[in-house]
Structure 1
């Protein structure tokens, strides 16, 4: 089954990936020569979030999406705070829509 996953590295950074087998991939990240270059110098890594998808293409697309997110937004995802995700967007348009939805939008002159 295809997954998107997030691991926390020893230096408290996050790595986002996609795979068919999460357990095997986390093991690879912690091995001396099989993990991603990014995680090799940041071992050990710990799985903090994963989600399965219907296809590897969907998992890969979500991986790329989450890779562009801020640390705060990734941590909200990890905590399962899905309602907070739009408010944590870097894009001003998304933040404006969220503010309008909540009634807190003030028009800019």
Structure 2
């Protein structure tokens, strides 16, 4: 079975980028070298890989990537730091600001 990866990069502006790939090493290198000059990460380099998860089911990987992209910064940081018990109680977005 082919592996897929969902990953989170921390950008130089402290934002997070969530992506999906079948070749994590190659894709991270593309982000770091700025291969795609119209991408979100291009002007936010340098970047660091702060989280990744492996999947054998591409559909589950796609679903997970879409889910994480909707999460608040706080919820993403809980995932990154491994505070899994906090995830269910963190709101998707804070609309009170």
| Secondary structure of the corresponding residue to residue 13 of structure 2 | coil
Corresponding residue pairs, total: 91
Query: Residues 1-109 of structure 1 correspond to what in structure 2 (within 5 A)?
Result: 1-34=3-36, 37-90=39-92
Structure 2 residues not aligned, in runs of 5+: none
CA distance in 1, matches of 2:13, 2:89: 27
Structure (1 or 2) with the larger CA radius of gyration: 1
| Secondary structure of the corresponding residue to residue 41 of structure 2 | helix
- Assess if the C-alpha contact under 8 Å between 2:70 and 2:92 holds in 1: no
Q: Could you tell me how far 1:34 is from its partner in structure 2?
A: 2.9
Assess, with a 3 A threshold, how the Cα gap between structure 1 residues 13 and 73 changes in structure 2: closer, same or farther: same
- How high is the TM-score relative to the length of structure 1? 0.77
CA distance in 2, matches of 1:82, 1:32: 32
- How high is the TM-score relative to the length of structure 2? 0.86
- Assess if the C-alpha contact under 8 Å between 2:32 and 2:47 holds in 1: yes
Structure 1 residues not aligned, in runs of 5+: 92-109
Higher relative contact order (CA 8 A, sep 6+): 2
| Secondary structure of the corresponding residue to residue 37 of structure 1 | coil
